[in-house]
């Protein structure tokens, strides 16, 4: 357990995580910039929750979908490669087991990729709330029949899916990076796989929408269980990538 916590702390406190977090916030705010400008130009009050809708639109926008696999891969995907090539792995394994080491690195990788996107969304949502709440009307407390109204923002479903997506792309990068023993492949492979899947689904295999990355963030009506179905698929892929990364990582450590 200490090994896992140590790896998580290393992943979340590093400069790579801070840089990826800043990139996520920047991308979301740049995507939302036009909506903010239009809001301040409008002579009337906006509907309540406009800042949340703008955040959700930015999450599923073209700019964020392009940057998502890169941002998720930045914090910790090359951890095993760096440990092996630097020789640090020998010192590390003298104090813990191989299983604990791999568990720590893989869990920290997936968690860092997921959290960097989730926290980036939270920070950008907070900034947009500060900018736009003065321009939004007050929420209605009761409907025409006198019943109280409960507001549930649609952004919550997107947050769960982007969390799972971040974990998957990060662990996929660790899997390919460890298999090739290349830190450049660790960072670049999620982006390459992402675009290969997009090209295959858009041009050749439209029926394979479950492997279409854009569908993971904005599911269409074709999903059997709707948004929940998309979340389950992403989560399963993340678990599979983590298991394969553990298998490949164990072989690399044994060879070393």
The pLDDT mean for the chain works out to: 83
- Per-residue pLDDT of 227-248, as tens digits, reads 788 888 899 999 999 999 999 9
Which range among 77-86, 112-121, 131-140, 191-200 shows the weakest confidence by mean pLDDT? 131-140
Residue 213 has pLDDT above 80, yes or no: yes
Per the DSSP assignment, residues forming a β-bridge with 46 are 136
pTM: 0.87
pLDDT at 201: 81
Which range among 67-76, 94-103, 113-122 shows the weakest confidence by mean pLDDT? 94-103
Which range among 65-69, 152-156, 208-212 shows the weakest confidence by mean pLDDT? 152-156
- Per-residue pLDDT of 121-144, as tens digits, reads 889 988 888 888 777 766 655 445
- Per-residue pLDDT of 14-50, as tens digits, reads 889 999 999 999 999 998 888 888 877 877 777 777 7
pLDDT at 139: 60
Residue 180 has pLDDT above 70, yes or no: yes
């Amino acid at each position: 357990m200490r090994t896992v916590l140590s790896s998580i702390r290393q992943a979340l406190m590093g400069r790579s995580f801070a840089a990826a977090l800043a990139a996520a916030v920047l991308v979301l705010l740049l995507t939302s910039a036009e909506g903010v400008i239009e809001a301040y130009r409008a002579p009337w009050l906006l509907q309540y929750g406009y800042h949340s809708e703008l955040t959700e639109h930015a999450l599923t926008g073209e700019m964020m979908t392009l940057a998502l696999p890169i941002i998720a891969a930045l914090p910790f995907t090359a951890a095993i490669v760096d440990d092996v090539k630097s020789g640090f792995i020998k010192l590390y394994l003298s104090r813990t087991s191989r299983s604990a080491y791999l568990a720590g690195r893989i869990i920290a990788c997936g968690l860092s990729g997921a959290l960097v996107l989730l926290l980036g969304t939270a920070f950008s949502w907070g900034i947009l709330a500060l900018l736009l709440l003065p321009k939004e009307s007050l929420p209605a407390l009761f409907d025409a029949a006198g019943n109280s109204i409960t507001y549930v923002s649609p952004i919550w479903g997107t947050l769960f899916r982007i969390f799972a997506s971040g974990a998957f792309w990060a662990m996929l990068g660790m899997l390919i990076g460890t298999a090739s023993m290349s830190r450049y492949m660790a960072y670049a492979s999620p982006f390459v796989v992402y675009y290969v899947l997009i090209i295959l689904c858009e041009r050749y295999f439209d029926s394979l929408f479950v492997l279409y990355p854009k569908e993971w963030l904005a599911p269409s009506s074709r999903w059997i269980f709707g948004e929940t179905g998309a979340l389950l698929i992403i989560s399963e892929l993340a678990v599979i990538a983590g298991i394969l990364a553990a298998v490949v990582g164990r072989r690399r450590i044994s060879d070393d």
